[in-house]
Amino acid sequence: MTARKKRIRKAVLPVAGLGTRFLPATKAMPKEMLTVVDRPVIQHVVDEARAAGIEHFIFITGRNKGVIEDHFDSQFELERTLAERGKKSELELLSRDLPDAGQTSFTRQQAPLGLGHAVWCARDIVGEEPFALLLPDMLHHADTPCMADMIRAYDKHGGNLVAVSPVPKDQTHLYGIVGVENAKDKVSPITKMVEKPPRGTAPSNLHITGRYILQPEIFDLLSQQERGTGGEIQLTDSMIRLMDEARQPFHAVRFDGDIYDCGSKIGFLLANVAYALARDDLGPSLKAELRKMV
């Protein structure tokens, strides 16, 4: 098996952000631990990665993020109390969500220097193998998990992959945008990539949605610590160099489900409604109550 076709075992999850848009809620609670229905946002993202076969979860944390590490650990006192009270279903739920020993790693991003810098912080844990990258703010809601689609595409094409989804053309300046050979294909080679292009210059309306599969050579480029948009170390800049200078192939994987930006209040609220409506135990009652409200 060649290095470029190694199985995707590890996922990087950057969770060092301050969550200022959700103050005061995030003054003492990480934004990733805010709940969509009854599961923290970060748990939904880990669920997606696990369903795709990911075995090792690498969290890039910052100050006051210790509760995330606690969430993915066992809690003896809680479990003992549940057992004593005969709460079997609750115990089974906690057991099902708990990663096995050695499946989680935590490392700190000491300064907010951008997404590229956060990914670079995982270099020694990832090692010399391709890896998945999932941005926890972005929830991808569909019958088939987005990362599962990407790993299937990786198994066929190899190289680097980026999940994309269409946005209105008048909003392309707000996102990282890719140009592709055929925008209608589920998987298509990427021909161009640009971070927040000026209005009217975007190569397409396909925006990068926060799911990636990347080759380890990205770390060599990120290690140069070059600043880009906003004075931060941008991941997109290094991906462009990996594609244009290193000639590594990049494919776009089109995601056709719903995407909720839980870094924004509207996106977070919509995610709660959508995920609740999709549940048999909550959906019918919630739909009836929403009809009364609107």
Provide the Cα torsion 164, 166, 169, 175; round to 10°.
-30
pLDDT above 70 covers a percentage of the chain that reads 98
CATH code where residue 114 lies: 3.90.550.10
Res 91 pLDDT > 50: yes
Q: Which residues pair with 82 in a beta bridge?
A: none
pLDDT above 90 covers a percentage of the chain that reads 69
pLDDT in tens, 112-151: 888 999 999 999 999 999 999 999 999 999 989 999 999 9
pLDDT value at residue 188: 96
- Count up the domains in the chain and report the number: 1
pLDDT in tens, 197-251: 998 899 999 999 999 999 999 999 999 877 776 677 889 999 999 998 888 999 9
User: Nearest to residue 144, comparing CAs of 54, 52, 9?
Assistant: 52
pLDDT in tens, 70-88: 999 988 898 889 898 998 8
Average pLDDT, the chain: 92
- Please report the DSSP string for 62-109 in residue order: -TT-HHHHHHTS--HHHHHHHHHTT-HHHHHHHHHHSPPTTSEEEEE-
Decide: pTM greater than 0.85: yes
What value does the mean pLDDT take over residues 102-111?
A: 92
The three-class DSSP label of residue 8 is: coil
Res 4 pLDDT > 60: no
Task: Supply the range of the domain harboring residue 46.
Answer: 3-293
pLDDT value at residue 2: 40
pLDDT value at residue 230: 66
